[in-house]
Amino acid sequence: MKFVRYGLFAIAVCTAVLASTIPARAEKGAPPDSSKERRNSLVALPYAFYTPETKIAFGVGSIYSFRPSGSPPDARPSNVRVAAVYTQLKQIILAFLPEIYFKNEEYFCYGYFGFYKYPDKFWGIGKDAPDSAEEDYEPYYFKTNINVQRRMWPGIFAGLRYQYEYIHLRKTADDGVLRHGTVLGSEGGSASGLGVIINHDTRNHIYQPSAGFYNQIYAVFFGQALGSDYTFKLLSIDLRKYFSVFGSHVLAVQTYDSFISGEPPFQMLNMFGSSYWMRAYYFGRYRDKKMLTFQAEYRLPIFWRFGAVAFAGFGDVSDRVSKFKLNDFKYSLGFGLRLMFDRQERINARIDFGFGKGGDVGIYALVVEAF
């Protein structure tokens, strides 16, 4: 009953709140994704969403999508997103996310700035962390990453990435392992890192691609020379491909993998599960230095602005690459509904239902596709 109740809540919120933002001008006869008709798009609204990590959440936010003066009509839109969220679990999230193209897409700058007061859960480290190890804790986070890139070849950008995270544990469980300071990161501190990033982007649309690639690889070094309390190296690989099938249907596939060496805080270990990959698992239910994930999603229109998806994924975490075993991989299966509330930029609201190994279930009601 709890699953059904939250699922119905999420559907009602996404439909009622987001449908109210559909521009009156977008009637039949207006072609979708018509950049010649309108260069800029602003969506600003109160909204609600649901994830296993936040439960019911309410916030205010906006997405401003634009093309700088002088850009051709088919140029990729820049956008700025701002959000403030308060959740059922008394979490506070403030976020600012700019993605800006300069000089006709010759330069690309994007980043994330976020503050979290975020009561959370910890089960330990490793792919076999038991349910019985669950403990609550409440951290303060400030997270940022800044990426500045230049177009090297058509569709390929390369540049620098700076990443910073400040961590403070405000509360820990009286009988938990985090209280004793034996887990690296339980005493808080800062992680500061600098590295390189490469993007390969040939998608035919940013928010709702039906063809092309999106590949991103970055490597970041965290160390004392950069003001970091922790020393470790991070390699992240995100590879995606989109296929148009049966006309307006889309098959999207992705592998998201991450490898850490050194001694990171537990908050920056690779965390399994989320609203973006391995939907069904609480974000951080499993965490370790290495992570492999694979997922595929089939997307199809139903009628008017509504669509549906089916998805499947599998993956795992480990402390060493050699310890990954296919028989131990966890799976995620699910389905979802879509509502396109901005036809100009093809931005969807989504609700997904994910089912995982061992009875894990996740419901996600959010804006923009998982990948």
Tell me what the mean pLDDT of segment 22-26 comes to. Answer: 36
- Do 309 and 149 meet the contact criterion of CB atoms below 8 Å apart? no
Beta bridge partners of residue 284, listed in sequence order = none
Residues 6+ apart with CB under 8 A from 324: 290, 292, 316, 318
Helix, strand, coil share (%) of the chain residues, nearest 5: 10, 55, 35
Residue 47: pLDDT band with limits 50, 70, 90? confident
pLDDT over 60 at 270, yes or no: yes
- Do 305 and 339 meet the contact criterion of CB atoms below 8 Å apart? yes
Query: Residue 341's pLDDT is what?
Result: 83
Say what percent of the chain tops pLDDT 70. Answer: 89
Query: Residue 117's pLDDT is what?
Result: 93
Tell me what the mean pLDDT of segment 248-257 comes to. Answer: 97
Residue 358: pLDDT band with limits 50, 70, 90? confident
pLDDT over 90 at 312, yes or no: yes
Query: Residue 33's pLDDT is what?
Result: 44
- Which amino acid, 241? K
Beta bridge partners of residue 33, listed in sequence order = none
Query: Residue 51's pLDDT is what?
Result: 93
Beta pairing, strands 120-122 & 107-117: unpaired
pLDDT tens digit sequence for 87-104: 999 999 999 999 998 888
For each of the domains in the chain, give its residue range(s) and CATH number, in order of start: 2-367 (2.40.160.50)
Tell me what the mean pLDDT of segment 208-230 comes to. Answer: 96
Tell me what the mean pLDDT of segment 8-36 comes to. Answer: 40
Q: Which two tokens stand for residue 153?
A: 């070849």
Residues 6+ apart with CB under 8 A from 327: none
Residues 6+ apart with CB under 8 A from 231: 222, 223, 224, 262, 263
Tell me what the mean pLDDT of segment 5-19 comes to. Answer: 43
pLDDT over 80 at 251, yes or no: yes
Query: Residue 2's pLDDT is what?
Result: 44
Q: Which two tokens stand for residue 247?
A: 């006309």
Residue 253: pLDDT band with limits 50, 70, 90? very high
Query: Residue 76's pLDDT is what?
Result: 75
Chain position carrying tokens 């970091």: 228
pLDDT over 80 at 321, yes or no: yes
Tell me what the mean pLDDT of segment 22-49 comes to. Answer: 56
- Note the pTM of the prediction, 2 decimals: 0.84
- Do 81 and 95 meet the contact criterion of CB atoms below 8 Å apart? yes
Q: What is the mean pLDDT of the chain?
A: 88
pLDDT tens digit sequence for 73-84: 777 788 899 999
pLDDT over 80 at 39, yes or no: no
- Do 77 and 66 meet the contact criterion of CB atoms below 8 Å apart? yes
Chain position carrying tokens 């050194």: 262
Tell how many helices (H) and how many strands (E) occur in the chain: 2, 19
Tell me what the mean pLDDT of segment 258-281 comes to. Answer: 96
Query: Residue 332's pLDDT is what?
Result: 97
Residues 6+ apart with CB under 8 A from 153: none
Tell me what the mean pLDDT of segment 188-201 comes to. Answer: 96
Which DSSP symbol is given to 289? S
Query: Residue 331's pLDDT is what?
Result: 97
Tell me what the mean pLDDT of segment 319-334 comes to. Answer: 96
Residue 232 sits at φ, ψ, to 5 deg, of -165, 170
